[in-house]
Amino acid sequence: MKTTEIRKLVSPSTFTQRIDRPTSRGDKPPLLALDGLVKRYGRTIAVDNLSLNLQEGEVFGFLGPNGAGKTSTIRMLCGLARSNAGSGTVLGFDIWNERFEIRSRLGYVPQQFSLYSDLTLLENLWFFASLYGVSMRWADYRIRTLLAQLDLFPYRQVRAGHLSGGFKQLLAIGCAILHKPALLVLDEPTSGLDPCNRQTIWNLLYQLSQEGTTIFVTTHYMDEADRCTKVGLLYSGKLLAIGSPAQLKECLVNHVLDFEVDPLIAAQASMRDLPGVFGTRLRGGKIRLLARDPRNLVAELRKHWPFPALAWHAYEFGVPDMDDVFEAYRCGILVAELESKEV
């Protein structure tokens, strides 16, 4: 086994693969620590036994499809909803019993635009500076800095409700970081934005991370996982895996095949039914297969190609991306492998 420690947690309801560096006695206590959090809405379990630790300056990507439980988790760690079981701390403060202590040290950008549409951009910034108790002199400096940093100065007198989607998000983030919080929580901040605005937001998050702010960002864009220092994969309320993007992709390196087959659309529909294949998609003009045993699959196809209407030209082992990783965990292929190995 590699020097990187691999630990797995098994419970009756979930199996989580953790690929984290080992903690040592000299390590700082985690800035954010969640332990066995559960959130139910009636009979529906939105968050199921969630545990994770984040250190200062980490950029954590919380990935999952809509309805996976990402927003419910955020509401609990921000003290907006009480967990049904488990516990959590931010900077040592309990996420429910000491939630008001946490809120002054936390920045939160919700999924929906929640600033004051009738106020101008500048008025919104000043309003939130007063809410956070920022002094007039410091607020003036921070607002001038953020207007320049976020390219919002030309729009400072525009009413927030008249801003484009990208500028609304930049304003929301600016209001959330006026007081330089230790933890910044963003719920799908780049949803619906164009690539230029997405990049602007990520550049800002990197700068905040370098200054010591811990970033907790939810997204359903798998390509954004590679921008994070640590990623957690959430599905149906369960944390399937947690680790760096490189570590998570390494687990799938022997399960990806790229086939050159014509015609492509017909090939994808036909090849998804091959034995041992648990995922297919088009990628770079090829058919990407996720297979339990790729070498055996190729050997069988060489013996007998079962698709007379399809022309197979070539194949190669592919480099996994986060879409592949999420699909593998969602289908249980990596869980089954890890349970069969003592890792």
Please give the pLDDT value at position 108. 93
Q: In what order do the strands lie in the sheet with 85-90?
A: 44-54, 32-41, 85-90, 93-94
Q: Which of 50, 114, 40, 113 is nearest to 81 (CA)?
A: 40
More confident residue, 184 or 28: 184
Structure tokens at 170: 């930049």
* Cα–Cα dist 103/91, whole Å: 11
Instruction: Please check the confidence at residue 19 and state whether its pLDDT lies above 70.
Output: no
Task: Over range 46-67, report the average pLDDT.
Answer: 93
Over residues 300-323, the pLDDT tens digits come to 999 999 999 999 999 999 999 988
pLDDT for 11 beyond 70: no
What's the confidence (pLDDT) of residue 198? 87
pLDDT score at 18:
52
Confidence grade of residue 252 (pLDDT, cut at 50, 70, 90): confident
Continuous segment of H or E residues that includes residue 137: helix 136-149
Count how many residues are written for the chain. 343
pLDDT attached to residue 224: 86
Q: Residue 87 gets which letter from DSSP?
A: E
- Summary mean pLDDT of the chain: 86
Cα angle vertex 298, ends 295, 303, to 5°?
130
Mean pLDDT over 57-74 rounds to: 92
Banded model confidence at residue 220, pLDDT cuts 50, 70, 90? confident
| Residue-level pLDDT at 2 | 36
Instruction: Give φ, ψ of 204 to 5 degrees.
Output: -65, -40
